[in-house]
Amino acid sequence: MRKPRAYSPLTQDAAQILGATVRAARRERRWTVEELAERVGVNHTTIRKVERGDLSVGLGAAFEAAALLGVPLFGDDPGRRRIEAQRLEDRLAVLPRRVRRPVKVSNDF
């Protein structure tokens, strides 16, 4: 049996908030769990896990449920998201492609 993964309180809080937001948006649209599950392409158990903030759910399923319901991910404005994405690309361009542990050099001759 797999050992459950430990997550930080920040990660747990974020998942709980996303789940509650998805649940509220689904109810506002008067969609059942089954209707949302069908639209996302998963089963109703997965949607229930998303809404509970269960961290074992795939990120794609959780984000797709949020997107279908109009829950803003990284802001509402698509232009702003493009600007942020470009900033991150620029930042990554100046960082090394690979991260390696520093080699410990012995100066004992």
pTM listed for this prediction: 0.79
Domain boundaries, the chain: 9-94
DSSP string, 49-86: HHHHT-TTS-HHHHHHHHHHHT--SS-S-HHHHHHHHH
CA torsion, points 49, 29, 14, 74, in degrees to nearest 10? Answer: 130
User: How far, in Å, CA of 17 to CA of 21, rounded?
Assistant: 6
The string of pLDDT tens digits covering residues 16-67 is 999 999 999 999 999 999 999 999 999 999 999 999 999 999 999 999 999 9
User: 9-94: which CATH architecture?
Assistant: Orthogonal Bundle (1.10)
